[in-house]
Amino acid sequence: MSIKGLRTGSIFYLMLPNILFFYNWTNTSIAIIGIALLLFLFYIELKSIDFNDSSKITNKDILIVVLLSGLLTLFSGVTGFCYQTLDYWGHNAKFYDLASHNWPVRVPKHGAVVSYYFGYYTVPAILFKITGVFSESIIFIWTSLGLAIGIMWIYVVLNKRASFVILALCFGDFSHVLGTVLRAFSIKLYEQNDFGIENWSILENLFWVPNQVIPTLIIGGMFTYIFIKKIDFFLIVLPISLSFWWAVFPAFTSGILIGILGIRQILISNFNLQWRNIICRVFVPFLTCLPILIFFLSHNDTPVSGFLWQFKADFNNTLSEYSVNIGINVLAFLLSFHYLRTHDFPLINSSSFVVVVILILVLPLYRLGKVNDFLFRGMMPLLLIVGLYLLYPICQYSWRRILGLVRNSITGVAFILFLISSQFLGITRIYRAVSVNLVTAKLAQVSFKPVPYDFYPNVYEALCGKWSQQEANQYLGEADSFYEKYIARRP
């Protein structure tokens, strides 16, 4: 397989749910326009030569990535083979709701639309409707395929080094590991409150939101590849726009990043750009995700939002939590990058790295969501990109060579320890999955029962039952919203 094939497959995979959105969630006029624009963009993608790299993805590479993706899919809790987090009550209810009811999903049947990012769930659900069979095998194949596409980008960027892929997936957990170690010695740097101010790695998020991890892997890996190969970075806009229907927060933060870099590029070039390409690569993709954004904004209740200091009376505690969980991570990123730069490792792009780190530092100052979902999910692509930027310079060497290069430098040793210690949380999560699953439940009497799909009649009832009325209501659309008046599909 070629890199061009990987790019085309990535776009096709992300685009399928978007086509289903226009067909099932919008009226006929908008559906025709939206699907036509998506097909136009896919046609341009097929004709493009931007990703015609001479390097090939071998059958061995595919086998390694497919096996890794399959294992991660099982470990994550998808299909209920291994331990499942609380969020699987929501995931399974969405699959059941979409498979059992007409689209768009409404509560009650002809009531308010459920305004949620359903992208990940729509393809398995439409197959359930077509076949008349609710099959976990379909969910497993669809999920592992998405993870394989995303991980393949990481694998290619990191010189086809599987060990470095694992390092990248755990990037961002260092402060969490440090806090856990300190608490083990009864050292408490801050008091935990009703919502967290901390970063979660890709692997940690995989056990909670596989639906959002998949597009994040594709965006982060492709973004880094584009900068390594010095391809037009506006080509990342299309996968970002397609990801809004999958994962609004990762797509939003990725959009902010590319917006800042795009404005910088326009100013540097003194507006001397190929505007035809800008229209096709930026404006048209934005048009395709605009109805989805309007759909999200049709909520009856707005989610909890505001700056951190608006919610926590103890400012010193808030500052401590932010400094430990965000500040220490950022400091580690900067020191690592400085070490690599001063020791002549092959870096990717300093200016984009600085922009990403600034966003990681600034965006956590704003809370969005009851438990701060914006931070936990929205930081994923930024943390992944930073991880790839720091791992790429050293993945060109063998581990023996790397250790030989850093052993005489305190900063170098600290850098390696930083990378290794970031894996500890991920190791505990994998151990939990291996220890708590259907096999151990049968052979070792471990307490485990998979989350049912049909326990609740719809996703709204699941949110009310497992979370709160407030959180359920924030996903209900308004009857007189712009979406309902001008965009929604008519019965």
381 alpha-carbon distance from chain centroid: 6
Contact at 8 Å (CB) between 481 and 291? no
Indicate if the pLDDT at residue 233 is higher than 70. yes
Q: Which of 118, 93, 87 is closest to 205 using CA atoms?
A: 87
Q: For the whole model, what pTM was predicted?
A: 0.95
Question: Using alpha carbons only, what angle is made at residue 255 by residues 249 and 261, rounded to the nearest 5 degrees?
Answer: 145
Mean pLDDT over residues 208-233, rounded? 96
Indicate if the pLDDT at residue 313 is higher than 70. no
Indicate if the pLDDT at residue 434 is higher than 90. yes
pLDDT at 369: 78
Round to whole Å and give the CA distance between 450 and 336. Answer: 41
Mean pLDDT over residues 318-334, rounded? 90
pLDDT at 283: 94
pLDDT at 471: 81
Q: What is the pLDDT of residues 283-304, one digit of tens each?
A: 999 999 999 999 998 887 777 7
Q: What is the pLDDT of residues 155-207, one digit of tens each?
A: 999 999 999 999 999 999 998 888 888 887 878 888 777 777 888 999 999 99
Residue 15 structure tokens: 């685009």
Give the residue, 182 or 459, on which the prediction is more confident: 459
Percent of the chain with pLDDT over 70: 99
pLDDT at 409: 82
Peptide bond into 452 cis (omega under 30): no
Helix, strand, coil share (%) of the chain residues, nearest 5: 70, 5, 30
Indicate if the pLDDT at residue 446 is higher than 70. yes
If you ran DSSP here, which 8-state letter would residue 2 be given? B
What is the band of 55 on the pLDDT scale with cuts at 50, 70, 90?
A: confident
Query: Which has the minimum average pLDDT: 17-21, 76-80, 300-304, 408-412?
Result: 300-304
Which residue has tokens 């497993």? Answer: 140
What is the band of 45 on the pLDDT scale with cuts at 50, 70, 90?
A: very high
Round to whole Å and give the CA distance between 68 and 171. Answer: 17
Contacts 24+ apart (CB under 8 A), 132-136: 134/95, 134/96, 134/99, 134/453, 136/79, 136/80
Burial 79-113 (b: 16+ CB within 10 A, else e): bbbbbbeebbbbbbbbbbbbbbbebbbbbeeeebb
Q: What is the pLDDT of residues 71-83, one digit of tens each?
A: 999 999 999 999 9
Q: What is the pLDDT of residues 335-375, one digit of tens each?
A: 999 999 988 888 998 899 999 999 999 999 998 877 888 99
What is the band of 474 on the pLDDT scale with cuts at 50, 70, 90?
A: confident
pLDDT at 312: 67
